[in-house]
Amino acid sequence: MKLSDLKIIVTGGAQGMGAYFATQLAAAGAKVAVGDVKEELLAALPAGIHRRKLDVSNEADVVAFVAWANEQMGGLNGLINNAGILRDGLLVKKDKATGAVTKLTTEQWNAVIGVNLTGATFMVREVVAKMVETGQRPGVIVNISSIARHGNRGQSNYTAAKAALAANTVTWSKEFAAFGIRVGAVAPGMIETPMTQGMNQKARDALVAVIPVGRIGVPEDIWLGVKFVLECDYFDGRTIDVDGGLSM
């Protein structure tokens, strides 16, 4: 699809990669609706972008947002499933000094699964349902997965969510083919965003040291992958790793 033909939702679009995607899409002539829980940051987006508070882990919020976006843009034919959070922690940890055993909390697990998997799934369900109801085709969905889907220490919750999202990219591409909707995924490596800036500095430095290209990625790197999925009508049901050659 041409970017200028898109009427597209970007979740988690108030900052970081999501804000970059939304800005690039709007500059290319697309109609864009952005949702994020950080409502106060939405005002910084360029003029012309539709914006509204959105908690993807809240089913009613998702349903209302999709209906609103469809009305604001005069239709809907795209989604970038970008909203995500981190609540890292080892599943089980033993303190070397005290011998105390701690566990990943239920709250840590549920928060990440709720946003990164359940919320992403709600978004796909509601966007596709709206497209089918209104007869809009063709359409395209881009899921933002992660190279952590291959497994990464201290990220049981995040790995589970991002692996499932990549797997369901295949599932949904098959389910939605009859509706003229393609589904692809982009899996970033370590990218300079507010989320990764909050990482432990020692862990961050160690990770950067093993990236073959020798640097942290930037949102523009991931946008190039997203743009390819949006524009290439022969791309479907696959995940593109954009990670600087990093192997976790």
- State pLDDT tens for residues 31-73: 999 999 999 999 999 999 999 999 999 999 999 999 999 999 9
pLDDT given at position 204: 75
How many domains does the chain fold into?
1
Selected residue with higher pLDDT from 245 and 233: 233
**Cα pseudo-dihedral 185, 190, 194, 197, rounded to 10:** 160
- The 10s digit of each residue's pLDDT in 131-149 is 999 999 999 999 999 999 9
**Which residues, at least 6 apart from 243, have a Cβ–Cβ distance to it below 8 Å?**
147, 187, 188, 189, 190, 211, 217
Question: CA triplet 98, 103, 108: central angle to 5 degrees?
Answer: 135
Model pTM score = 0.93
Q: What are 8-25's pLDDT values in tens digits?
A: 999 999 999 999 999 999
From 158, 172, 176, 223, the catalytic residue: 158
What's the pLDDT band for 195 if we cut at 50, 70, 90? low
Residue 247 domain-assigned? no
Beta carbons of 45 and 19 less than 8 angstroms apart: yes
Q: Within 10 Å of residue 90's Cβ, how many Cβ atoms?
A: 13
Q: What is the rounded CA–CA span in Å between residue 241 and residue 166?
A: 11
What digits encode the pLDDT tens for the residues 143-182?
999 999 998 889 999 999 999 999 999 999 999 999 999 9
Specify if 227 maps to a domain.
yes
Is 158 among the catalytic positions?
yes
* Domain that includes residue 147, residue range: 3-242
For the chain, percent of residues with pLDDT exceeding 70? 99
pLDDT at 248: 66
Please determine, for residue 194, whether its predicted confidence score (pLDDT) is greater than 80: no
Q: Residue 48 is part of a domain; what is its CATH number? A: 3.40.50.720
How many residues in total does the chain contain?
248
Residue 192 confidence (pLDDT): 86
202 pLDDT band (50/70/90 cuts)?
Answer: confident
Determine the residue type at 72: Q
| Residues 45/117, Cβ–Cβ less than 8 Å | no
For the record, the structure tokens of 43 come out as 């005002």
Q: 138: cis peptide before it, omega within 30°?
A: yes
Q: Taking residues 193-220, what's their average pLDDT?
A: 82
Averaged pLDDT, 186-199: 82
Is residue 248 domain-resident? no
Percent of all residues in the chain with a pLDDT value above 90, rounded to a whole number: 85
Within a domain: residue 119? yes
Which spans in 144-193 are helix H? 156-175
